[in-house]
Amino acid sequence: MRSLLLLCLALMHQSWAVLDAPLAHAEAGQIGYGPPSPLFVSSYETYGTETSSLHTRTATSLFDLQRFWMRADLRVRPEWRNGVCFGGGPPIAGACNSLNAAGSGTSAFSGNKANDSFIQQWARVGLGYDPSPDVNFYIELQDSATWGASGSPTNALQGGDASNHQCAVLRPGQCRLGLRAAYGLLRNLGGIDGLSLKLGRQYLVFGNQRLFGHFDWANTGYSHDGIMLSYATSAFDTKLGWFRHSETDLGQADPGGSLTPNLLTCTPDPSTSLCNPALAQHATDAGSDVDMVVFYNQIRSLPRMVVEPYYVLYSNRLPERANPGQYLAKSSSQLRHMVGLRIEVRHGNWDMLHETAYQFGQMADGFGVDNRRNLRINAWASGTSLGHTWYQHAWKPRVAIGFDYASGDGDSNCATPGGTLARSCGGNANTFENFFPTNFLHVGYMLNGAWRNSVQPQINFQARPTARDHIEIWALRKYLASARDNWYRGSQGPLIFSRSDNTTTHIGDELDVAWSHMFADGKISLAVMYGHFFSGPYIREHLGTTKDQDWGIVQLWTNF
C-alpha cells in the first residue's frame, strides 16, 4: 500500500509538467517550390523529428510524462461534382465506360450528368513517447469517414448511420477506425551519429512526392509496413528501406499465427463447388507476397542545388490472374526496377525542378495461369518546372511553367478472342507505374490525371495578399502519351478506357482557382476551391458527350 501511494504522488507531481511540454518538431522535411500554401500543410509536418530529441531530462521513474507528447488533426470537407462523366452516366468502379471482349473502350454508361455531393472527414490522434534522446515510439489513430456511409440505406432504423457504430458489421472492409502509423525509431545506432532505424508502419515522403508521398489530400493517406535504415550528415542523406505490401500466408493479427493456412488457398463455393482460379494458383506457395525496396539518396553539398538519385524494386509474386490488367496499378506477377534522378536548383528569385525515372523488368502477360513473366517492362517519365518568385513584393507572387510526361502502352487493353484480358499483345509493358504519390500536387486539384500515359503542359500563379491568405490559379492542358492506352485518374485507375482504334490524344483542359485562410494562430485553415474541366475531342469521341466538368470544395482543417 505504501508503494502504491508513493507511485500515485510521483505521477501527480509529473502531470503538471505536461502542460508546458514543448511542441513536437517535423518528422520529415519537404522541399517545396514557391510560397508554401497553408491549404496543403500536411499533418506529418508536426511529428517527432528523427535527428534530434525534444526531451533530454534524466528520467526519474519508469514512465515520465515529460517525455510523452501528442498531436491531433480534424478535417471536414464537403465536395460537389457536376458532370462527373462529362454528361454520361455515373462511373462504375471509378470508370466512365468499360472494356468490351476485344479489349476496346465502349461508349459512356447509360444515364446523364452523374452529379454528386458528399462530405468526407478524418480525425487523427498521434501519441509519442521518447524514453531517451535516441528512442522514440509513435502511434497514430485515424478515423476516416464519409458522412452517412456507415449503415445500410435500406434499413435506416436498425442499420443506418445513426445507430451503427460497429466497424465493418454491415459493410465488411469499410472500417472507419485504423492505424495510420505505428513505429519505433532508434537514433545514433552503435554510437554512430546520424544513423537511425525505423521499424513499423511509417510514411514514405521523398522529393516533391511525384512517386512517394503522404497523400493527405485523400481521406486515408499512404503509409507502409516495413523497415527504414537512414544515415544523414550535413552533406548527404541516404535511406534504405524494405516494405511488405501483401502477405498471403497470415491474416491481419491472426491469433493462429503460422498454423493458419495460406490466404491464397481456394475454398470451393458450396453452391457451385467451383474455385476462383485466381485464388487457386499457388495455394501451397508461401512466397506469393508483395515486397518493395527503396534506396533513396539526397546530396546537398552542392551550392544552391539538391540532387536525389534513387532506386526502387517492386516484387509482386501474386498469381498473374489475381490482377490481370496492365492498366491496373501494381499489377500482379511482376518484377519492376526503377532508377531515377531528381534535381532542384534555386538561385535568387528563380527555382527549377526536374525529375526523370526509368522502369525496366519483367511481368506476366495475364493470358493464362502459367505465371511466366514474358513481357518486358520498358517505361519512363519526366517532370520539369521553372518558377520565378518576387520575394521583394509584399504579395510574394510566383509564376511557374511546367511540362510532365509519362509513357503509355498501345496494347494496354489487349484481350484474347475468348475475352480474356491480357497485359499486352506486343511483348512489352510500357505504361509507367506511378507508385504511391501525392498526385494532386502535380496533376491538378480535380485529380483528373496521373503520372501514367500522360503529356501535360501547365502554368501556375500563386500569391500571398496577407500573411494569412494564399491564392492560386492553375491551368493545365492534358494529352495522352499513347492514344490506345487509357486516361488514368489520380488514383491511377482508368477514368476512360480508350478504343483500340483511337488516334485522338487531346483530352481537355483544366482550370483551378483556390483560396485559403489561416486563423486561430495558424491552427485552423479554411480553404475554398473551384475547378473546371473543358472537355476535349478525346472525351467527345469516347463518351459521345460534349459536357464539361465542375468541382468545388470547402475544407476546414485544424491541427495542434
Phi, psi of 3 (to 5 degrees): -65, -40
Name the pLDDT band for 466 (thresholds 50, 70, 90). very high
Express each pLDDT in 376-434 by its tens digit. 999 999 999 999 999 999 999 999 999 999 999 998 888 776 667 777 788 899 999 99
Express each pLDDT in 121-178 by its tens digit. 999 999 999 999 999 999 999 999 888 887 777 766 666 777 777 775 555 556 788 8
Please tell me the predicted confidence (pLDDT) of residue 173.
Answer: 57
**Would the CA dihedral through 14, 16, 19, 23 be positive or negative?**
negative
- Say how many residues make up the chain: 560
Extract the C-alpha cell encoding 12.
501527480
Please tell me the predicted confidence (pLDDT) of residue 56.
Answer: 39
Name the pLDDT band for 275 (thresholds 50, 70, 90). low
DSSP state of 95: B
Please tell me the predicted confidence (pLDDT) of residue 300.
Answer: 92
Tracing cell 470547402 back to the chain, one arrives at 554
Which SS3 state, helix, strand or coil, does residue 30 take? coil
Task: Decide if pLDDT at 348 tops 90.
Answer: yes
Express each pLDDT in 61-117 by its tens digit. 567 888 999 999 999 999 999 999 998 999 998 899 998 888 889 999 988 878 999
Q: Give the range among 41-50, 111-120, 348-357, 490-499 with minimum mean pLDDT.
A: 41-50
* Distance set, CA 446 to CA 460, 509, 512, 531 (Å): 15, 11, 8, 6
Please tell me the predicted confidence (pLDDT) of residue 171.
Answer: 58
Q: Give the range among 35-39, 492-496, 551-555 with minimum mean pLDDT.
A: 35-39
| Farthest CA pair distance, the chain | 85
Please tell me the predicted confidence (pLDDT) of residue 29.
Answer: 33
What is the average per-residue pLDDT within 503-527?
A: 94
Please tell me the predicted confidence (pLDDT) of residue 43.
Answer: 34
Instruction: Tell me the average pLDDT of the chain.
Output: 83
Express each pLDDT in 201-235 by its tens digit. 999 999 999 999 999 888 989 999 999 999 999 99
Choice between 50 and 141, residue whose per-residue pLDDT is larger: 141
What is the average per-residue pLDDT within 34-43?
A: 36
What is the average per-residue pLDDT within 299-305?
A: 93
Query: Which residues are CB-contacts of 24 (< 8 A; sequence separation ≥ 6)?
Result: 46, 47, 48, 49, 54, 69, 71, 128
The pTM (predicted TM-score) of the whole model is: 0.85
What is the average per-residue pLDDT within 336-348?
A: 97
Please tell me the predicted confidence (pLDDT) of residue 322.
Answer: 80
Query: Which residues are CB-contacts of 140 (< 8 A; sequence separation ≥ 6)?
Result: 124, 125, 126, 127, 179, 180, 181, 182
Which SS3 state, helix, strand or coil, does residue 243 take? strand
Residues 493, 96: contact at Cβ < 8 Å?
no
Task: Decide if pLDDT at 36 tops 60.
Answer: no
AA letter at 530: Y
Percentage of the chain modeled with pLDDT above 90: 59
